[in-house]
Amino acid sequence: MRVGKVRLLALVALFVLLPVFAIEGNAPTMQELFSRWDLKGIVALLESGTAISPMDQSLAANALWRADRFEEALALLRSSSKSWPDEVRPYGEFMMVLALERLNRGQEARTMAGALVGRVPADLVYYVHYSLYRLSDEKDHENRRKHLQGMYKAAQNDSQRTTALTELLKLPGDKAVYALRLTDILPRSSAALKVLESLPKPWNPDVNMAVGYAAYLSGNYDKAIPLFRAIPMDSRHGRKSKYYRAFSLYNQKKYAPALEAWAYLAKTGESFAESSLKRISILAGRAERESALRVLREVASSREGDIQARAYYSLSTHLSGKERLSAEDSVIKLAPGSLFTTQILWGRGWDRWNSGDVAGAVAEWEKSLAPNMSQNWRPRVIYWIAKGYERLGKVDKQRPLIEALKTDHPLSIYAFLAGGKLEPVPGDPPGLVSEAGLLEQWGFVTHARRVLLAKGDPKSAYRAALLADWSGDQQAAYLAALKVGDQIRKGPVFYARGLSMLYPRPFAKEVAKAAERFEVEDSLVWAIMRQESAFNPAATSWAGAGGLMQLMPGTARSEAKALGMKSHSVYDAEQNITLGTAHIARLMRSYKDVWLALAAYNAGPGNANKWLGDRKSVPLDEWIEGVRFEETNDYVQKVTANLEVYRALYPDSRSPDEGDGVD
């Protein structure tokens, strides 16, 4: 895999981000050198004897800082500090604190950091407390606890909260509250669970919930069930504990008690009612059919609003003939613009399509095109209406639908199936471009990113993404770019730098190594990773899948065993990528097609084989629509769309002998 294009984009980006002043002769300015992180050139300019401005000194200081040359950086920060604007000063002074800390001048650093408390912007408070925690006497537990609590109070995201709580757990004293807060963020935190499980019994509902949920996620249902059962229904965890107790029983194939618990939640209250109806519907297809259908009927006749509509919808999926039509009509009447109605009309149209009634299918699908229709469904329905008109020979009606699909939903898989092509142009979306702020101009890029994100407006978010991308933090760039994702994806012109941040290639070395080892297209690995975890190595799903490629524990164990790995962690980025790539490679060898392999990756080979059955000759676009697991259907659509965007953005990374794409 070659990554030169991404690096080129990053280098070009900063020429936009930082102001470039006039050049005398051919000598590059400090701003240009900084934009390229040209440390050798910066040092040469500093040593040349050429007079440089305080702003240039500050830029050089930040570049030297990046190279761990803290003594020189500190000297330049001090020299330029007299000229810092008020907006820049607290950030520059904090950088001086960090330089002193790294130079083991702890007392000076503590004094300077202490002077910053109470007079820095909100986004710096966490970091000032963190520095004071690190600089404090390890035996002064109360002072360290004070600063960690200050960190937690000032934290602006879960990553910061996790750091504060993890450190608090290392201090002596009562740690139960911190452990509970940490399990809210990281349900399987071993440090937090160790604290909670050491508490004297009987445990309170909060502890039972935290330990029970961790056991559930780990597949230890024998441990989870009694812990959930001990939680009173009138506690704040009552309904949640009942839901996951039912799930644990279900996974143990104890279907009757699972149904009883889900039925209670479906018939009463709001939280977990719709989720329970969904589980009851799944249960009806596997066991306890009559009892499950009876519950669905009771809920449909006794509840109101969305819950009633969900009950009728779930019921309809198990009925036939007039009973099914009656239940479906009830949904359409109760929730005419809902996803349930869309799915019903879609199903009716698909039944007509499969029976050869193309005109009838088109008529049903056209009914579903409500103004508030889900954007996940609209391109799908438009594609099949257009395909219906094509079969009916009504090209005059097909053509505008295809054009609308390419124009309004250009990055959906259906636009690609319809012949749409993605041809990114260099640069940034014009409506999102903005000028460099003072923090950028003085070189404090990391702080500038944080301030820009806090502002929240589209231009600031996009600029923060550019700065993160230029700094090499692709996950941060992705998360910032997501805030303006609709503008970046809007079209009709697509700008490469914006798209490259929405479709990044993080963990490049690990992906390249695994892709080469298992002979998998590297773009496919990123396409899966983007959908599965949004590039977050710590991601955990409600079902217990973990890491970048969201591997279930059993899948990870199986692949690790096959690879001869004595131990593994799905939260280790390299190991997760290795195991996930090995798994998708195995599925590609089995199914010979990316669509089928992705269906198996999401729902398991057993389900994929069942869906494939005797339909091997069915065109792939029709085959995937026949998959009645909506989650899997949606998953395959999104990952294949991701794949097409990656291929268009990074043509250099595609393996020349890799499997089928969209023709």
Tokens 């799903």, residue?
Answer: 541
Type of residue found at 455? K
Measured in degrees and rounded to the nearest 5, phi and psi for residue 550 equal: 50, 70
> Torsion angle, CA of 618/622/624/629, rounded to 10 degrees?
-110
Q: Are residues 520 and 385 in the same domain?
A: no
List CB contacts of 530: < 8 A, sequence separation 6 or more: 503, 642
What's the pLDDT at 18? 45
Q: Is residue 72 part of a domain?
A: no
- Concatenated DSSP letters of 331-358: HHHH-TTSHHHHHHHHHHHHHHHHTT-H
What's the pLDDT at 4? 39
What's the pLDDT at 628? 64
Q: Are residues 524 and 375 in the same domain?
A: no
Q: Is 167 a catalytic residue?
A: no
Type of residue found at 554? G
The whole model's pTM is what? 0.81
Can you tell me the distance from the alpha carbon of 446 to that of 430, in angstroms, rounded to the nearest whole number?
A: 24
Q: Is residue 571 part of a domain?
A: yes
Domain that holds residue 561: 508-653
In this structure, are residues 589 and 596 in contact, taking their beta carbons and an 8 Å threshold? no
Can you tell me the distance from the alpha carbon of 315 to that of 292, in angstroms, rounded to the nearest whole number?
A: 9
Q: Is residue 167 part of a domain?
A: no
Can you tell me the distance from the alpha carbon of 73 to that of 444, in angstroms, rounded to the nearest whole number?
A: 12
Q: Is residue 298 part of a domain?
A: yes
Q: Is residue 456 part of a domain?
A: no
Domain boundary among 409, 438, 473: 409
Q: Are residues 528 and 401 in the same domain?
A: no
Q: Are residues 243 and 362 in the same domain?
A: yes
The catalytic residue among 328, 532, 625, 658 is 532
Can you tell me the distance from the alpha carbon of 4 to that of 232, in angstroms, rounded to the nearest whole number?
A: 58
Type of residue found at 319? L
Alpha-carbon dihedral sign for residues 217, 220, 221, 226: negative
Q: Is residue 296 part of a domain?
A: yes
The CATH number of residue 633's host domain is: 1.10.530.10
Domain boundary among 381, 409, 437: 409
Can you tell me the distance from the alpha carbon of 455 to that of 439, in angstroms, rounded to the nearest whole number?
A: 14
In this structure, are residues 255 and 284 in contact, taking their beta carbons and an 8 Å threshold? no
> Torsion angle, CA of 60/61/64/65, rounded to 10 degrees?
-150
Q: Are residues 520 and 633 in the same domain?
A: yes
Domain boundary among 388, 409, 430: 409
For the chain, report the end-to-end CA distance as a whole number of angstroms. Answer: 23
What's the average pLDDT block by block, 10 residues per block, for the chain (663 residues)?
37 41 64 92 93 96 95 97 97 98 97 95 96 96 97 95 98 96 95 97 97 95 98 97 98 97 98 97 94 97 96 95 96 92 93 94 94 88 96 96 92 92 93 95 96 94 96 92 94 93 96 96 97 92 88 94 94 96 96 91 87 70 76 90 95 56 38
The number of domains in the chain is 2
In this structure, are residues 540 and 187 in contact, taking their beta carbons and an 8 Å threshold? yes
Q: Is 70 exposed, middle or buried (0-12, 13-18, 19+ CB in 10 A)?
A: buried
Q: Are residues 394 and 250 in the same domain?
A: yes
- Concatenated DSSP letters of 344-409: HHHHHHHHHHHTT-HHHHHHHHHHT--TT--TTTHHHHHHHHHHHHHHTT-HHHHHHHHHHHHHHS
Both structure tokens of 360: 């009838």
DSSP SS3 for 449: helix
Q: Is residue 306 part of a domain?
A: yes
Q: What secondary structure letter does DSSP report for 430?
A: G
What's the pLDDT at 614? 60
The CATH number of residue 329's host domain is: 1.25.40.10
Measured in degrees and rounded to the nearest 5, phi and psi for residue 546 equal: -135, 155
Q: Are residues 397 and 533 in the same domain?
A: no
Q: Find the angle CA(536)-CA(538)-CA(540) to the nearest 5 degrees.
A: 100
Both structure tokens of 471: 């700094």
Can you tell me the distance from the alpha carbon of 636 to that of 603, in angstroms, rounded to the nearest whole number?
A: 10
What's the pLDDT at 661? 40
DSSP SS3 for 564: coil
DSSP SS3 for 495: strand
Q: Is residue 446 part of a domain?
A: no
Q: Are residues 258 and 397 in the same domain?
A: yes
DSSP SS3 for 425: strand
Q: Are residues 523 and 391 in the same domain?
A: no
Both structure tokens of 108: 């000076």
- Torsion-angle region of 329 (φ positive above 0: left; ψ -120 to 50: alpha; else: beta): alpha
